[in-house]
Structure 1
């Protein structure tokens, strides 16, 4: 198995080839939905081919096989008994079906046809219809599955950004198809990286480098996601704070591509630990589709995830579920408007909290929503903008309630310049509802990073250092401090890390007398050298 850096470098190289191939027609940011969507389409095709040609072949003897040769070459006809048998055997195992002519490789072979866009549309429609058909079958036996309707909606085959004519649009689609055909998808489940999430992050870094701005502050760098996942897997009430062996459910209220939830899968891959079900909600339609694709790509059964589309604050979709693990990176300083949405003031999530009665930053609204969703024995780790730790008025009142009700386990100051499009530093707040003490641990991890290009990154060693500090909960000058509730109250509920961990002055003490003596000695030496040079010049002039 290749290491993470090598996998990532190969992936970036292939993605950038495609992005450059289509740059004349479509900018890098718009290309992401097509690149990611076509990866998903190819994965479904390869997965289905592998199942039929390899797994089913193990069961069927040559005489019993419903067809000869490879499935991609099979002449499929649903009215034929063999075709019917194949379809429902496959659907029973994979929950979807693709006819041979709609497989990725066969669409690619005919990609020079003038009706390429129509062929792709038919292939996507057939896959979605098969998802729906399988759902209906399972509904009859009371099995609830993730709804995958509209999952290809982000791939607009008639988008003018592809070109101003069908011919031009098909030309660009052909280039993307050819590019994705070179992607190594066979070991996607064993990969050390989140492929869709990594592509998303890579494209944003390219845009940031070229234009100086992106929406990257809303995308969680993979290493930060890994830290969040490590945190919520800690069994804080065990003596050695070991990793939990089982997580009943995990939730991300602003899940985007699903990368934070999938970090739990990656971390538990080589252990006996499991997460029974994943939940998420996302307001942006294309990111919502990518989140659902990402779950399928990582072989998460449709019974084990529930991703919904909508505004988490105004229309929460999982309000009746309590979660053992919550990870989140909500949008920084998003407006939370209670004035024009008075129903929020009587919402059961917010009714006992001092919310603003006007348009204000919604950082604490996401925290309060998530705390409502956190079960008694659960852990929540959320990325936030540090301003919430010291802003006054209503936000101070919220901090007071959090401290008095003993919900904050730790506050971690992360390095600056970790998010694309912003150099702002961020924090992680760790919440628990069943703490055994009332102290809050403050960690200054501002120097826990390695440089990668213009950005700072958390290395595996940096992550482990932070986790160790979190588990040990002890005072280390300039790095960590366990602060009592009494001291926090004394400081008017200020929770910024630098309030409790002042910077350590590691500069060398200067001895002024010694420095002056050295300067005098240097001045004498300089004058001596000048005199010697003058003597040499005079001798040369006299010759």
Structure 2
């Protein structure tokens, strides 16, 4: 009987690999090397197992074996396999050997893996140090992964390699603090967003700031048949590579994940216009400073650049140009302009977007007047890695026929589980938010349905406490009990003083 590789086994080997790097380079950097090696090992073990199967089936007929292998998800040659890299672990050029193997894997699988490894350099002196230290780390990394079998027959039916990927990205985010948190949305928050947008079969699903892709994967998993089209964009090169690998490890081979600045250079276009999507989810960087710098041409780069709506060829900022130091509404407007008719959109934002004035107030007014805002959900503090800032979710819908907005305050202590370093939403907390959202009901101290007229009366301020009253009245003070307590304390004090007097007399003081 084949011994199965468990989730715990994979996770422990990955953690061992992290120990190889820990203390030498930053975890927000070394995660790229560990997760890339996991991907190579998975491709390699899968290829090796299928090669053995076809060799047996076709009695060693090389032409038939080659033809069968060419129809696999991924094609590898011998010098791209993990076993080949392991055999070269003591080679003084091991970093370059790994780089060449990655290049060959890309070239053999250009349709799927083009550019996946372009931001990962195993021979980088600036990141991994001088040859001696670098080679020692890479040798240990290969030895760590040698212990692990990722053959399909040993993985069973569970998506444990994909799960390990998610698990490690989460741990690295926690380990790396704010730096790591930039590319990770906690699993339960991703789950909440996914359920809010309710993706349907054949939907196009989009995340304009997709990080490592975990949020998109959660949304795709909401559709049982997985018949959805996945689109994303990420501006950090190494994180873009992680997102592509993450998709493949979760069996999503046709995701279109682009690399670039979504605001200045959106890359999902149709006929020169922004592509439209039925479901959009995002966790954009909070209040991104200098969000518009990508619009500054060389001629203006030496002066103080001022963003204007006319500089955007896609006309996304005609409702207003957000302040240069806060990009929140730049992402919101980009997403709204990318939303298809009957589309649903949910995005995580800092609370300031609900009430800040000036240009943000004007944009907010336009969005509300156009009846695009469907719900505002306040989340507990401490859910996100590296920041204690409480966030909210804003839900938007195209073609709304309602003229109200649902407010939910899920920030109270009874609506989450406190953790040592980070708080968590439980399944019951997610279910309560979703049930309240779907039923659209007012619940005392939890939710409230505000008409658009009420919101206008509040001068378009969406601050949740204006609509959901969570104030707890204190118990009335029992003055008789207070008097009685004071009298008891006075008597006890008098007794102590008399006792002290006796002690002092005994001591002759």
Q: Smaller-chain TM-score range?
A: 0.7 to 0.9
Contact map agreement 2:28 2:180 (CA 8 A) in 1: no
1:157 maps onto 2:157 in alignment: no
User: Paired residue for 2:146?
Assistant: 181
Q: Specify which of 86, 107, 119 is matched with residue 65 of structure 2.
A: 86
> Counterpart of 1:142?
none
Partners of 1:123 and 1:192 in 2: how far apart? 21
Name the CA distance, whole Å, in 2 between partners of 1:164 and 1:363.
Answer: 38
Say yes or no: does 1:220 pair with 2:214: no
The aligned residue for residue 15 of structure 2 is 16
C-alpha distance in structure 1 between counterparts of 2:228 and 2:129, whole Å: 47
Question: After the TM superposition, which of the residue ranges 478-487 and 150-159 deviates more from structure 2?
Answer: 150-159
Match of 2:258 among 293, 308, 319: 308
The partner residue of 2:164 within 195, 202, 207 is: 195
2:487 maps to 520
Pick which of 411-420 and 108-117 moved more: 108-117
Aligned residue for 2:300? none
Residue 217 of structure 2 is aligned with which of 241, 246, 262?
262
The one-character-per-residue Cα deviations of 1:449-500 (angstroms, maximum 9, x if unpaired) are 2122211111222211211221121111221111110110001000111221
Kept in 1, the 8 Å contact 2:183–2:212? The answer is no
Residue pair 2:209, 2:282 contacting (<8 A) in 1 also: yes
2:408 and 2:370 mapped to 1: Cα distance?
21
Written as runs of structure 1 = structure 2, the 5 A alignment for 1:24-423 is 25-54=24-53, 56=54, 61=57, 64-66=58-60, 82=62, 84-94=63-73, 96-132=74-110, 135=111, 146=112, 148-161=113-126, 164-183=129-148, 185=150, 186=155, 190-191=159-160, 194-208=163-177, 213-217=178-182, 219-233=184-198, 246-268=201-223, 272-301=224-253, 304-320=254-270, 321-334=275-288, 335-337=290-292, 339=305, 342=308, 344-345=310-311, 347-350=313-316, 352-356=318-322, 359-423=324-388
SS of 1:378's equivalent in the other structure is: strand
Give secondary structure in 2 for the equivalent of 1:214: helix
By how many angstroms is 1:287 displaced?
Answer: 0.8
Check 1:344–1:273 CA distance in 2 against 1; reply closer, same or farther (3 A cut).
farther
Measure how far apart 1:106 and its partner are: 3.4
Using the TM superposition, give the Cα deviation of residue 414 of structure 1 relative to its aligned residue in structure 2, in angstroms.
0.8
TM-superposed CA distance for 1:298, in Å, is 0.8
**Distance in 2, Cα, partners of 1:65 & 1:17:** 40
Tell me the distance in 1 between the aligned counterparts of 2:104 and 2:181.
34
Contact 2:307 2:321 in 1 (8 A): no
1:336 is displaced (CA, Å) by 3.5
Which whole-Å CA distance do the structure 1 matches of 2:312 and 2:15 have between them? Answer: 49
Q: Tell whether the 8 Å contact from 2:33 to 2:122 is kept in structure 1 after alignment.
A: no
User: TM (normalized to structure 1)?
Assistant: 0.80
Q: 1:383 to 1:344 in 2, by over 3 A?
A: farther
Give the aligned length. Answer: 480
Q: 1:454 pairs with 405, 421, 426, which one? A: 421
User: Structure 2 vs 1, CA of residues 493 and 341 (structure 1 numbering), >3 Å: closer, same or farther?
Assistant: closer
Alpha-carbon distance in 2 for matches of 1:376, 1:281: 21
Q: Residue 397 of structure 2 corresponds to which residue in structure 1?
A: 432
- Unpaired stretches in structure 2, ≥5 consecutive residues: 1-5, 296-304
1:45 Cα deviation from its structure 2 partner = 0.9
CA distance in 2, matches of 1:505, 1:535: 48
Give yes or no for contact 1:198–1:222 (8 Å, CA) kept in 2.
Answer: no
**CA separation in 1, counterparts of 2:470 and 2:149?**
47
Q: Counterparts of 1:506 and 1:191 in 2: how far apart (Å)?
A: 49
Pairwise CA distance, 1:518: 3.3
Q: 1:249 to 1:262 in 2, by over 3 A?
A: same
Residue 363 of structure 1 and its aligned partner are, at CA, apart by 0.8
Normalised TM-score (structure 2): 0.85
Contact 2:45 2:149 in 1 (8 A): no
Cα deviation code 1:143-188 (max 9, x no counterpart): xxx5x32212232122114655434322211111222334574358
User: SS state of the match for residue 287, structure 1?
Assistant: helix
User: Which range moves more in the overlay, 34-43 or 335-344?
Assistant: 335-344
